[in-house]
C-alpha cells in the first residue's frame, strides 16, 4: 500500500460581503476550504440592516434561507449543493414551524441536518442556521 506524501496547501479564502462589512460585523460570511464552503450562522436579518424581519419565526426562517441562498450563490455554490445544515431554534417546540419553511427550499433531496434548542440568539432571533456546501467551479 502506498501513500501520497506530497503535501499541498489547501485553498483557504475568507469572504465578507460589503453589506456585512458596512455593518461592522467581526466575522466572515463564509470561508472556502478547497471546494467546500462553510457559512457563518445566518439569521433573518433584513438585507443591509442590523434588524430582524418582522413576522416571527416563519418570517425569520424564510429570510434566513434567502440570506443563505444569497451567500452561497455569491461564492460559487447554491442550495442544490448544500450538504449540511445546523439549525438553532429558540423554542424547539416550534420545530414544525421552521420545517414548513425549510421544505419549500428543498422539495426533493434534502441535505443532512441537525437541530438544537438554543437560548440567546443574536438580535433576539428565533432561529439561526449554519450551512456547509460544495463549490461547483
Burial of 93 (0-12, 13-18, 19+ CB in 10 A): exposed
- What is the pLDDT tens value at each position of the chain, 137 positions in all? 455 556 889 999 999 988 888 888 889 999 999 999 999 999 999 998 999 999 999 999 999 999 999 999 999 999 999 999 999 999 999 999 999 999 999 999 999 999 999 999 999 999 999 999 999 87
Contact call for residues 95 and 117 (beta carbons, < 8 A): no
pTM for the model stands at 0.92
Does CATH place domain 12-134 in 3.40.50.620? Answer: no
Question: Which of 132, 124, 116 lies closest to 45 in space, CA to CA?
Answer: 124
Q: Which three cell numbers stand for residue 18?
A: 460589503
Amino acid at each position: 500500500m502506498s501513500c501520497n506524501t506530497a503535501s499541498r496547501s489547501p485553498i483557504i479564502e475568507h469572504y465578507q460581503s460589503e453589506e456585512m462589512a458596512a455593518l461592522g460585523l467581526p466575522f466572515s460570511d463564509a470561508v472556502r476550504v478547497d471546494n467546500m464552503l462553510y457559512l457563518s450562522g445566518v439569521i433573518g436579518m433584513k438585507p443591509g440592516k442590523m434588524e430582524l424581519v418582522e413576522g416571527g419565526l416563519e418570517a425569520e426562517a424564510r429570510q434566513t434561507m434567502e440570506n443563505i441562498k444569497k451567500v452561497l450563490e455569491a461564492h460559487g455554490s447554491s442550495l442544490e449543493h448544500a450538504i449540511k445544515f445546523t439549525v438553532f431554534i429558540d423554542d424547539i417546540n416550534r420545530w414544525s414551524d421552521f420545517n414548513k419553511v425549510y421544505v419549500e427550499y428543498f422539495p426533493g433531496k434534502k441535505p443532512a441536518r441537525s437541530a438544537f434548542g438554543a437560548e440567546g440568539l443574536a438580535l433576539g432571533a428565533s432561529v439561526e442556521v449554519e450551512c456547509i456546501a460544495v463549490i461547483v467551479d
